[in-house]
Structure 1
Amino acid sequence: MKTVDEHLADVLARVQPLPPLELQLLEADGCILAEDVTSATDLPAWDNSAMDGYAVRREDVLAASEESPVELPVVGDVPAGSAQAYRVAPGQCVRIMTGAPVPAGADAVVPVEWTDRGVATVRISRPPSAGQHIRRQGDDVSAGEVVATAGTRLGPPHIMLLAAVGRSRVSVRPRPRVVVISTGTELVEPGTPPGHGQVSDANGPGLTAAAREAGAIVYRVGIVPDDPTTLLDAIEDQLVRADLVITTGGVSAGAYDVVKEVLGRLGTVAFGPVAMQPGKPQGFGTVGPDGTPIFTLPGNPVSAYVSFEVFVRPAIRRMLGMEPAARPLVPAVSTTALTSREGVRQFLRGRLRTRDGTIEVEPVGGPGSHLVASLARSDALIVLPEDVTSVPEGGMVSVLPFGGSPAGDAPDDAADEVLDGGDR
């Protein structure tokens, strides 16, 4: 059997970041920047007011106090967006709004709260300090400054900054398009009452959500029965919109495991056991004229999800241009004794908590690969290496946190939408 590390290495060796693509700014949200972005302008582009108030020459109001306000004539009104040029002469002031250009001659802004809010004349009861409440040109960004570097994952703050410096398009690694196909004659769509021997398709919706959370644009195809011709047609139909394909079910050694039967004939998809539990039966390779990567995952829901976390999610992140591709392992204290089979990497469901600054993990549910409820209650996988057969209560283990767990990274920005359906 291949080890987990060997299989993951094979996967990542055959998956490359997608070529850069120039996208509109909002379409680039969540993508990896493929270029350094340099600002063509200062930010702010000109001195502007940080307050609603009055632009003044500071020397004219140095003597202002509550007991003896200074009165000045108001010679103009400058709202935000005003293109009219004003100059403040000695003994004058201009009423100004937040964000409006500071008139020539003014060297401070008196907040409206320090005045009687006059229109023709204003009484000022407190002097500002030099330059107070003025946002200086280039105070935030200077023209020619790099505001975002290649490799940055764009989020709302980056989008805001790029828009502020006038960029409407940027070159990014696009989100991969992932097609999810559930196979099995026994499957019915969620919401359809299952008959005798039938089960609701949990893998299709679950892996669609997982791929979306990892940053992909996801197309979920309807259930494909255990028919070789129908399965092959379904895969070929989807390749036009797929950067990566995921199938679940049909990869063991049974008489009706059609995924293995169909794709095994192509010679480009390798099937074989991986020394892990759950998730032992795995397949990976390429299909179609463009060599589209395809993962064939086990049909049991927990096996499928663990396989996604360990192998597929790193591949999606590699396609996005994100490194490191895999989630980092985190040390934790096990609250109970654990056992594992030698030579197999065990992935147990766990729940994390922090006590006195130490991360603890408690196993959730049993090891069965059909126990979806325990997976939903967990926020991490407890990883027991191949050479570990037991861990005492209070012993150290490695955990693979899911996004948003106490020890995990924040959930990845999701794709804009999940495109559900298809022609099958």
Structure 2
Amino acid sequence: MSDLPASENTNHEGPIAGIGPGLGDGLVSVDWLVDRILETVRPLDAFPQPLMETLGLACAEDVIAPIELPRFDNSAMDGYAVVAADLDDVSEDEPVELPVVGEIGAGKAGLVTMAAGTAVRIMTGAPVPSGCDAVVPYEWTDRGVARVRVRRAPALGQHIRRAGEDVAEGELLVEEGTVLGPRHLGLLAAVGHATVPTRPRPRVVVMSTGAELRDPGTALGHDSIYDSNSYLLAAAARAAGAIAYRVGCVSDEPRAFLDALSDQLVRADLVVTSGGVSQGDYDVVKEALSPLGTVWFGTVGMQPGKPQGFGVVGEDETPIFTLPGNPVSSYISFQNFVLPALRALMGKQPYRRPTQTAQLTRGIGSPEGRRQFLRAVHDVRSVTPIGGPGSHLLGDLAKANALIVVPEEVTSIAAGEQVQVLRLDEEF
């Protein structure tokens, strides 16, 4: 049985209270809905996580270097530690020969000091002995073992990496909010951090509704289709850095839907459903959740993706997004509403995918009062719309790498004009 909270309030149509006026005809704007979402969603609590688990996550606090890098003066070359003054007069025609009094390998620093007039074989990364002020590479010598003949003079300090020249102890290494990449992890490991405080990856439960849905790999009836939305949305969540749990097809009966949802809340930081939010007789998500009083259902001035729902469910007030069932509408809704919420949970900024400007290759039209998102192929400077406006055309969505964003007040844009473009699948 469901443990979702109940409410007598079932009036959730029209503009969202506290956000501002709608666009007319009971519509709210994309921006106003995003604002409400970001007011509701709070970042997950941060905790120290193993270094390799933090790739792609936002650092939750400033990280300071506990040690300097390099930790000690060390050789930048395989060669010989020397006193530079001993080789002032060396040349190809008049090499200088020095006795080799020892050898220092990386991690094997048995010899800690040397005297003038001698040389010590030294490997890259090994600490230079006290008294050494230059390193002669093998290439400048005859690579002698007991004695070495040097044909070229090093400059004072040449081929020695000085302690702290890369990173000073106490230096700011990673600023709070930085999304950690491979180079950050390498630096943090180099100063000895085994863990780093980050917000965890959100756990996203994805549920599809519809009696007509079947799992891929099973037989289809004459009135059934394969469930693509749960795969599409779970993959989008995973691409955004979340942990995705694809529940798959859920019953069209309200009580069964609520029970399935309640069962999933134990592992959810955020829930995404698709289908069942329009005005039909079998819109199970809307029918099941409206009486709770914690989920808003309404219409947004956008195309595709007009019917939307957002709110919280369960004792922990888990955010829930109820997206339309057509795959293109569902995906574009994810990009506009779910993606900012996931980034907010992870403490990543900016929350919304930034737009770029590109030149339109052919003219387009758009309905007044709707922000239209057109599938397109974007290259360096231009963008080309592909496919029709239908929200069921998944093939065109798969070919697209961008969305053209047409503002609500614009009804047509001619070829050659500049348009705003959302690049899909890019890190930001």
Normalising by the residue count of structure 1, what TM-score does the alignment of the two structures yield? Answer: 0.93
1:26-41 alignment, distance < 5 Å: 26-41=52-67
Asked if 1:383 corresponds to 2:405, the answer is yes
Pick aligned residue for 1:344 from 370, 388, 400? 370
Asked if 1:273 corresponds to 2:299, the answer is yes
Asked if 1:99 corresponds to 2:106, the answer is no
CA distance in structure 1 between the partners assigned to 2:304 and 2:344 by the alignment:
24
- Give CA deviations for 1:309-354 in whole Å, capped at 9, x if unaligned: 1111111111111122101122222111111111111111111122
**Secondary structure, in 3 states, of the residue corresponding to 2:259?**
helix
Pick aligned residue for 2:361 from 331, 335, 338? 335
Pick aligned residue for 1:136 from 155, 159, 162? 162
- Give CA deviations for 1:103-125 in whole Å, capped at 9, x if unaligned: 11110111111111111111111
Contact 1:116 1:123 in 2 (8 A): yes
Give the Å deviation of 1:62: 2.0
Asked if 1:313 corresponds to 2:313, the answer is no
CA distance in structure 1 between the partners assigned to 2:63 and 2:300 by the alignment:
43
**Secondary structure, in 3 states, of the residue corresponding to 1:365?**
coil
Contact 2:102 2:111 in 1 (8 A): no
Partner of 2:390: 368
Partner of 2:5: none
Partner of 1:7: 33
- Give CA deviations for 1:397-424 in whole Å, capped at 9, x if unaligned: 21111134xxxxxx36xxxxxxxxxxxx
CA distance in structure 1 between the partners assigned to 2:196 and 2:31 by the alignment:
36
CA distance in structure 1 between the partners assigned to 2:178 and 2:164 by the alignment:
23
Amino acid at match of 2:228: A
CA distance in structure 1 between the partners assigned to 2:260 and 2:106 by the alignment:
58
Pick aligned residue for 2:188 from 139, 142, 162? 162
Identity rate of aligned residues, in percent? 58
Contact 1:17 1:319 in 2 (8 A): yes
Pick aligned residue for 1:226 from 240, 249, 252? 252
Pick aligned residue for 1:304 from 316, 325, 330? 330
- Give CA deviations for 1:124-156 in whole Å, capped at 9, x if unaligned: 111111111111000111111111111111111
CA distance in structure 2 between the partners assigned to 1:71 and 1:227 by the alignment:
91
CA distance in structure 2 between the partners assigned to 1:222 and 1:300 by the alignment:
15
CA distance in structure 2 between the partners assigned to 1:40 and 1:347 by the alignment:
49
Say which is worse superposed, 1-10 or 279-288, in terms of deviation.
1-10
Partner of 2:77: 51
CA distance in structure 2 between the partners assigned to 1:397 and 1:318 by the alignment:
27
Amino acid at match of 2:307: P
**Secondary structure, in 3 states, of the residue corresponding to 2:230?**
helix
Partner of 2:310: 284
Give the Å deviation of 1:86: 2.8
**Secondary structure, in 3 states, of the residue corresponding to 1:232?**
helix
**Secondary structure, in 3 states, of the residue corresponding to 1:33?**
coil
Unmatched segments (≥5 aa) in structure 1: 405-410, 413-424
1:84-233 alignment, distance < 5 Å: 84-233=110-259
- Give CA deviations for 1:375-404 in whole Å, capped at 9, x if unaligned: 111111111111111111112221111134
Contact 1:60 1:91 in 2 (8 A): yes
Give the Å deviation of 1:191: 2.3
Partner of 2:13: none
The number of residue pairs the alignment matches comes to 402
Unmatched segments (≥5 aa) in structure 2: 1-26
Give the Å deviation of 1:36: 1.1
Amino acid at match of 1:328: P
CA distance in structure 1 between the partners assigned to 2:174 and 2:370 by the alignment:
44
Partner of 2:20: none
CA distance in structure 2 between the partners assigned to 1:268 and 1:86 by the alignment:
71
Asked if 1:395 corresponds to 2:417, the answer is yes
**Secondary structure, in 3 states, of the residue corresponding to 1:26?**
helix
Normalising by the residue count of structure 2, what TM-score does the alignment of the two structures yield? Answer: 0.92
